[in-house]
Homo-oligomer: A and B are copies of this chain.
Amino acid sequence: MKNQLAKKEMPASELLALATYRISKVHSKLNAQAAYILRKEAGLNLVQWRILAWLNAFGPKVPSSDIINKVNMDKGLFSRSLKTLVSEEFIVADADDLDQRRQLLSLSDKGNEIYGQVITIMRKRQKHLLHDVTDTEKAALFSALEKLELNAERRDF
């Protein structure tokens, strides 16, 4: 009986050591940092920035679905954020003659410009974030994250 109870107690140290807890803390701090930089440097929020970056990566004249499917982004969130990006003219949306449902998205000149400004800072940030992480740590980090991601997809275990 004593043992059964003991099994259920969890000291604070154990909680603090949980991978899930650590990741969630890191995630929120990374988010806060990125949001701060984007707001200060470009008046963008995280979602808007991500869309600009993916659009730059996937080239011009891309339909929303391409980005949504390749990236892990919610359709609704994308749709709403896109609307403001188009209205602020960071992105131009051309009709697709082959499929009337779609719009082909491209960065505007203005969008390209701000992307260029921000990506420079973001590269510096990435460097800073990892500057004291060794190569072996980096490799292990990525491999561990990959495993975690896969294991997080299962609902039965």
Chain A residues within 8 Å of B, Cβ to Cβ:
7-12, 14-15, 17-20, 22-34, 36-37, 53-54, 56-58, 70, 72, 115-116, 119-120, 124-126, 128-133, 136-149, 151-155, 157
Contact = CB atoms under 8 A, between A and B. Distances in A.
Given A20-B129, A151-B128, A152-B26, A119 B10 contact: yes
Nearest to A72: B25
A12 B58 contact: yes
A126 to B, nearest CB: 6
B10 A53 contact: yes
Contacts of A130: 19, 148, 151
A151 B137 contact: no
A120 B6 CA distance: 12
